[in-house]
Amino acid sequence: MISRRRKKPTWQIKIAKLHIEELFEEAEKLANQGELNLAKRYISIARKIAEKFNIRLEREKKLKFCRKCNTYFVAGKTALYRTNPKTKALEVRCLKCGYVRRYRYK
């Protein structure tokens, strides 16, 4: 019997990664067109794929959406980016649900 917990084949992970890239690109386009709900859906699909294949999203991608409500971040429109020199953190506030995420920087 094949264990369901077994690691996915490399080629499948490769395809999944490409799929995630595409979904993020589409989400960006949609968000810029004001199609926020559709962009949200693309992000949630991308996240599901990442989860299924155990793919870690790059920091760059993580900064682009709200991990709470999946809203794609458009600076000044759906998100506010602020750097805090005191704590050396980048603060991203989701303007849709108010969630604030802090990222440390050097």
Binding site for Zn ion (CB under 5 A): 66, 68-69, 71, 94, 96-97, 99
CB of 8 to Zn ion, least distance (A): 29
Ranges of beta strands (E only) in the chain are: 79-84, 89-94, 100-104
Ranges of beta strands (E only) in 33-88 are: 79-84
Packing angle, helices 10-32 and 36-52, rounded to 10: 170
d(CA 20, CA 28): 12
CB of 106 to Zn ion, least distance (A): 26
Select 37 or 54, whichever has its Cβ closest to Zn ion: 37
CB of 87 to Zn ion, least distance (A): 21
Select 16 or 31, whichever has its Cβ closest to Zn ion: 31
Select 27 or 94, whichever has its Cβ closest to Zn ion: 94
